[in-house]
Structure 1
Amino acid sequence: MPADLAVIGLGHLGLPLAQAAVAAGIQTVGYDTDPRPHAELSAGRTPVEGSLSASEIRRMLSGGFRPTADPAELGRVRTAAICAPTPLGPDRTLDLGAVTDATRALAARLRPHTTVLVESAVPPGTTENVVRPLLEEGSGLRAGRDFHLAHSPGRLDPGNRARTLARTPKVIGGLTPACTESAAAFYGRLTDKVVRARGPREAEMTKVLETNFRHVNIALVNEMAVLCHDLGVDLWDVIRCAETKPFGFQPFRPGPGVGGHGVPLDPGYFPYSGHTPGHPLRMVSLAKEINDRMPGYVIQRCATLLNEHGKSVRGARVLLLGVTYKPDLADQEASPAREIASRLMDMGAQIGYHDPLVLDWRVRDLPVPRADSLYEAAAGADLTVLLQHHRTYDLQGLAVKAQLLLDTRGATPAGAAHRL
């Protein structure tokens, strides 16, 4: 049966979009240039941790979602959404390899009047200067005349049940006004509100601004955490007081590092950023530097605490709690836990971990021992470090059992543990 929508890229962006489309009654196929997601989905399993659960995948399949390994399916749809990942490459810029692979797969089968949507996080100008020419060269069709092309940045908050795709405004920037309206007609079936950007670059830059806003503000509060500790000031109480201000303030909280799929982006370094490449956003670069220092600061605090209690890091038994990047989510993408564990291992510490969502954890391809009994492990460890606060953790009880507890999330009651 021909589908209405093809989602290309079955990861953190593509699966939630496919889920929303199936729920809206849209016949949807899912395709990935990597064959592994197709095999996992066909078996009713989620191909990426921290995205949809296995039960949600099974509901999608029963609702008509069809994962496919046949790229010919891409030529039988009215709408195609490119949701390929864009991880950081060796040069610390976004790797567009998966996006170009997905675009080429679609281009070879693109038919007239199709609406092509780009949801991948890409540098401003990519939709016009990378995706468009690949589609036109591969299909012989012209964007804006023979098919519609638009960018709509992914905006979901993984694990947030209140902020579903339907309840999150969708920003859309089309190559032409007609492209924008075609994209708006599609997304209007999935979400309560559609926001029209002036064009694809404005839509792409919206993602850059939103991601950098998060990183810059986290960097500010991370610097405040270091300063307040040095001054003997309770930062967590400061934040509690400051967030009562009804205007001009939004609370952010410090932590051991910044994880997740949204990396800080400096469009000044990208080749498609417009007429003024090479003008870096200095605040973004500084924010990244500050946030990248936090795992090292956590190590410093660990060493100081152990030293104050007559122990050395070398030979110390250290238990790490929560190794995912976000609470109550299994996703480990860019979690600072791995770097912290690696540094502690270099210093000679004996590392163990506990995480209710991660049953097997490896650092440098070596398995890290997992604690079966949390309280027993905390009682036996010289130092317990809370890196992620999953709601299943009873922190008051943990503070009683642990010999020494460092809370990097400010989740323990005041005075119950050493806080970042």
Structure 2
Amino acid sequence: MNYKKELLEKIKSKKAVIGIIGMGYVGLPLGLTFAKKDFFVLGFDIDDNKTVLLNSGKSYIKHIDAKIIKELVDKKKFEATSDFTRLPECDAIIICVPTPLNEHREPDMTFVENTAKTIQKYLRKGQLISLESTTYPGTTEELLLPLFESAPNVRLPITNSSEFITNNQKLIVGKDFFLAFSPEREDPGNKDFSTSTIPKIVGGVTKACQEVAVSLYNQIVTKTVPVSSPRVAEAAKLLENIYRSVNIALVNELKMVFEKMNIDIWEVIDAAKTKPFGFQAFYPGPGLGGHCIPIDPFYLTWKAREYEVNTKFIELAGEINTFQPYHVVEKAIEVLNEHHKTLKGSKILILGVAYKKNIDDMRESPSLKLIEILRDKGAEVDYNDPYLPKLPPTRKYKYDLISVELRKDLIRLYDLLILATDHDDYDYDFIRKHAKLILDTRNAFKIKGLKEDNIYKA
């Protein structure tokens, strides 16, 4: 049987069933995009709470409209499940699971590896598997490919039937199944770009894999960018995020230097960006957040050691960015000292725990580290975030905190407010009027044109 031809025909006619593993900030919008393009999508997740919410037409991600989910569920174009025995129903399986770092800041491939082993268990001939999780160059061919080639009891579809028979023959990539890497490029909350309008890099293991994967993604994105191998696609994703990490580290370091010189880094950046060529503005902050930039560079530094290469530049950028929450706390100590207060025993309110403004995504948020450091130094810490009424547990932090109200009588109780995330929802003038002291890590109060008599920058 010509599995490539059959799969290409299914994709073209939109009869291909799309399976998305991981219904998070990447997998859910991707699945909904396929469903809106008239494919039937099965969204897999190990969290039954998520699957129940999705199947009832509800959203647990603020920027994803529940109406869209309900409409697609009602049209029977989208269904969520935690039953991985349904993987053989899928013609294309797309992996969108986390790739965090472990306690030694080395890649934790547990989620990808466990997902791949589950797919291996239910693999059938004629399927495309595409990995979207950011990872080190070589993952697709070194980790996934051997697993799928050696899949036991491979299912063979029976003609004109939804049933399968098993066969223990060795699979051939590019003939019996297809494998590719296509990195996610989601930017939660970005109104200018969506899943369908962001160009999609695609790297197939073989030419046939490339052809099938490109054909699939061409159905939902305005432009695909084919590259010669999964390694190139994996490396391209890392380059994108390392580029940002290094440039953010640069302005974070300059911020600390210019502070000593009594120079405002934000004014410097505003002046520099008037140059119409050769400069791109990056901005300092309290540290890096989100799943990509704080993590991805370390995937390359880890892999580079295998080739006896030291990535000093990348690691230095990581060190500078990792230090930023400590720098903010040092500034907090200075500000409180100026007003005859010590950090120990002070009441501190963190404004914003999402990793960037106007979203409810707190993955790797520097605010979580700020809370930890401040508490360790004896401060009483609360937070406010209009997008996160309660701090959910993360892999590292288990805070039992709820968002406090920004009432004037409550604001006045705090010795210091630290603006960590510059949400547009904040009434900055109201906050300034009622706060004793403010430490602004985002230059938000200056941007709003407010007086700075009780405002300090970090």
Equivalent residue for 1:12?
A: 25
Q: AA paired with 1:247?
A: F
Contact kept? 1:319, 1:377, Cα under 8 Å = no
Give the alignment partner of residue 222 of structure 1, picking from 252, 255, 259.
252
Trace 1:215-294 onto structure 2 (pairs within 5 A). 215-262=245-292, 263-267=295-299, 269-270=301-302, 277-294=307-324
Rounded to whole Å, the distance in 1 between the matches of 2:387 and 2:55 is: 23
Q: AA paired with 1:265?
A: P
Contact kept? 1:266, 1:281, Cα under 8 Å = no
Distance apart, 1:56 and its partner CA:
4.1
Contact kept? 1:3, 1:28, Cα under 8 Å = no
Trace 1:82-231 onto structure 2 (pairs within 5 A). 82-138=95-151, 139=154, 140-231=170-261
Q: What secondary structure does 1:182 align onto?
A: helix
Equivalent residue for 2:351?
A: 321
Q: Structure 1 350/160 Cα, relative in aligned 2: closer, same or farther at 3 Å?
A: same
Structure 1 stretches of at least 4 aligned residues deviating more than 6 Å after TM superposition: none
Q: TM-score, normalised by structure 1?
A: 0.93
Q: Structure 1 35/105 Cα, relative in aligned 2: closer, same or farther at 3 Å?
A: farther
Q: What secondary structure does 2:289 align onto?
A: coil
Q: AA paired with 1:418?
A: Y
The yes-or-no answer on 1:390 pairing with 2:402 is no
Rounded to whole Å, the distance in 2 between the matches of 1:17 and 1:324 is: 22
Rounded to whole Å, the distance in 1 between the matches of 2:47 and 2:134 is: 19
RMSD over aligned CA atoms reads 2.1
Q: How many residues align?
A: 416
The yes-or-no answer on 1:352 pairing with 2:390 is no
Rounded to whole Å, the distance in 1 between the matches of 2:402 and 2:113 is: 40
Q: AA paired with 1:240?
A: D
Runs of at least 5 residues in structure 1 that lack an aligned partner in the other structure: none
Q: What secondary structure does 1:399 align onto?
A: helix
Higher-Rg structure is: 2
Contact kept? 1:156, 1:164, Cα under 8 Å = yes
Deviates more, 1:160-169 or 1:57-66: 57-66
Rounded to whole Å, the distance in 2 between the matches of 1:342 and 1:376 is: 26
Q: Structure 1 392/307 Cα, relative in aligned 2: closer, same or farther at 3 Å?
A: same
Deviates more, 1:26-35 or 1:351-360: 26-35
User: Percent of aligned positions with the same letter in both sequences?
Assistant: 34
Q: What secondary structure does 1:287 align onto?
A: helix
Equivalent residue for 1:22?
A: 35
Q: TM-score, normalised by structure 2?
A: 0.86
Distance apart, 1:396 and its partner CA:
2.6
Equivalent residue for 2:456?
A: 418
Q: Structure 1 158/362 Cα, relative in aligned 2: closer, same or farther at 3 Å?
A: closer
Contact kept? 2:137, 2:300, Cα under 8 Å = no
Distance apart, 1:268 and its partner CA:
5.2
Q: Structure 1 264/108 Cα, relative in aligned 2: closer, same or farther at 3 Å?
A: closer
Rounded to whole Å, the distance in 1 between the matches of 2:131 and 2:413 is: 51
Equivalent residue for 1:296?
A: 326
The Cα offsets for residues 187-207 of structure 1, whole Å up to 9 and x where unpaired, read as 111110110111100000011
